Structure 1
Amino acid sequence: MTKLSVNINKIATLRNSRGGNNPDLVKTALDCERFGAQGITVHPRPDERHIRYQDVFDLKQVIATEFNIEGNCQEQKFVDLVLANKPAQVTLVPDALGQITSNHGWDTVRHQEYLKDIVATFKEAGIRVSLFVDPDPRMVEAAATTGTDRVELYTEAYATGYLKNREAAVAPYAEAARAAQQAGLGLNAGHDLDLHNLKYFSQHIPGLLEVSIGHALICDALYLGLENTIQMYLRQLA
C-alpha cells in the first residue's frame, strides 16, 4: 500500500497566526501518527512563516513513523538543519526565496553536477534522498544519475487536469513512473492531491511508494475531523 505522509505546515501556520502554542504542532503530529498516518512531512522555509527550525528539532525527538523534511537545499541553513536531525528522508525542492508554495521540479539535466554533490552530502549522513521533479521521463532519467534514491512527482498539473480529463491528466505521470521503475528509483508524489483525485492517481501510477499531503487534508479536517480525514485518505490508497 502507498504510504500517507501528512504535511503539517498548515498547522504551524495557524499556530503562528496568534503566537503561543495553539494548536500544539508536536501533539498534532503525534495524533496524526496515532490516527494512522505513516509519516510526517515538514517544509521549513527561511522566513519560518509556518514550520520553525526549532519545530524540526522538537519533532525529531518524538516522531515514531517516517520523518520527511523537504525544502530548498540551496539554503545552507536548510542543509545544516537536515544534517543535524537526520530524518528518514529529505526531499529536495528548487524553491525560490519568498515563494508561497512549490511550483516546479528540478531541471535535473541542467543542475546535474550540483545535485550529485548535494545528494551525496545527505546520503553520506545516512539520509534517504528524494528529488522533486516534473512528470517528464527525461528529468526522471537524469535524476537517477545524481545518485538519488527516489523522485517525488509534482502533481499540481494532474490535479488541475483531473476535472477536465482524468485519463489525459494522469498519462504523463504514469509514463514518468515507468521511467522511474526502469531507472531503479523509488517513487513519491505530492501537491494538490485530495480526496477527489487521489484514488484514481494511486490506481494508475505503478510503484507509488508514498504521497505527501498537507493543504487539502488539513482543509478537509476542518469539516470532517482530523482522525476521520486521515482514515478517509488512507482508504483512497488501499
Structure 2
Amino acid sequence: MTRLSVNINKIATLRNARGGNVPNLLQVALDCEAFGAEGITVHPRPDERHIRYRDVYELREVLTTEFNIEGNPTTEFMHLVGEVRPAQVTLVPDAPDALTSNAGWDVVSHRAFLRDIVAQLRQWGIRPSIFVSTDLRQIEAAAEVGTARIELYTEPYAAEYLSRSPEEAIAPFHEAASRALALGLELNAGHDLSLTNLRYFAEQIPSLAEVSIGHALISDALYLGLQETIRRYRACLGK
C-alpha cells in the first residue's frame, strides 16, 4: 500500500514566526508517527525560513519511521544529507528564493550532474528520488541517471481535478506511471494532494509507493486535529 509521509515544513514556519520552540517541531513529528504517518518529510532551504539545518540533525535522532529530505543538491545540502543519512533524498530543482516547489527537473539537460548526485547518494546508502513532471522524456532520463524513484509533481493534477474532470486530470499520470514502472522505477507523488483529490489519485495509480503531503494536511489539522487528519489521509490511501 501507498505510504503517507507528512511534510512538517509548515510547523516550522509557524514556530519561526515568533521564535522560541512553539509549536515544538520534534513533538509534532513524533505525534505524526504515533498517529499513523509512515514517514516524515522536510525540505530545508538555504534561508532556513522554515526547516533549519539544526532541525534535520535533531529529527534524525528521534524519528522511527522513514525520513525523507527534499531539496536542491547544493554543496551545503549534500553535506547535510551525507551526515544525516536519511532513508530517502528527493532532489528538487528549487531556486533559493522559490516560494514552493513549482516544477520538476529538466533531467535531460542536467543528466551528468544528476548522475553524479545519484551515485553519491547510493554510495551513502540513501535511496535517491528525482522530482519530475509527467514528461516521458524526463522520466526516461531519470532512469538513465540511476535513480531508484521519481516523485511525480502533482500540482497540475490537483488543478485539473477541480477545473476539468478527474479523468482528464489523471490521464498523463497514468501514462507517466506506466512508463516509469516499465523502466524499473518506483513511484512517489507530491504537491497539492489533499483530502479532495488524494483518494482518486491513489486508486488510479495503485503502484504508488509514497505520497508526501504537507500544506493541505497541516491546514486540515487546524480544523480536524492532527490525529483525525492523519486518519483521514490514511483512509484515502485505503488504510
Question: TM-score normalised to the size of structure 1?
Answer: 0.99
| Residue in 1 that maps onto 2:191 | 191
Q: CA RMSD in A?
A: 0.6
Unaligned runs of 5+ in 1: none
Unaligned runs of 5+ in 2: none
Secondary structure, counterpart of 1:61 in structure 2: helix
| Overall identity of the aligned pairs, in % | 64
Aligned equivalents of 2:72 and 2:114: distance in 1?
A: 12
* Deviation for aligned residue 1:135: 1.0
Counterparts of 1:41-60 in structure 2, within 5 Å, are 41-60=41-60
8 Å CA contact retained: 1:106, 1:131: yes
What CA deviation, in whole Å up to 9, does each residue of 1:107-157 have, x standing for no partner?
111111111001001110000000000011221111001010000000000
| Residue in 1 that maps onto 2:114 | 115
What CA deviation, in whole Å up to 9, does each residue of 1:142-181 have, x standing for no partner?
1001010000000000000001211111100111000110
Aligned equivalents of 2:216 and 2:75: distance in 1?
A: 30
Counterparts of 1:96-111 in structure 2, within 5 Å, are 96-111=95-110
Secondary structure, counterpart of 2:32 in structure 1: helix
Secondary structure, counterpart of 2:217 in structure 1: helix
**Mapped pair 1:154 → 2:153:** yes
| Residue in 2 that maps onto 1:130 | 129
Aligned equivalents of 1:209 and 1:182: distance in 2?
A: 15
Aligned equivalents of 1:204 and 1:136: distance in 2?
A: 18
Aligned equivalents of 2:123 and 2:52: distance in 1?
A: 25
What CA deviation, in whole Å up to 9, does each residue of 1:19-44 have, x standing for no partner?
00000000000000000000000000
| Residue in 1 that maps onto 2:223 | 223
| Residue in 2 that maps onto 1:22 | 22
Secondary structure, counterpart of 2:62 in structure 1: coil
Aligned equivalents of 1:169 and 1:137: distance in 2?
A: 16
Aligned equivalents of 1:103 and 1:34: distance in 2?
A: 31
**Runs (4+) of structure 1 moved beyond 6 Å?**
none
Question: TM-score normalised to the size of structure 2?
Answer: 0.98
| Residue in 2 that maps onto 1:82 | 81
Aligned equivalents of 2:75 and 2:21: distance in 1?
A: 28
| Residue in 2 that maps onto 1:66 | 66
Aligned equivalents of 2:35 and 2:213: distance in 1?
A: 15
Counterparts of 1:160-171 in structure 2, within 5 Å, are 160-163=159-162, 164-171=164-171
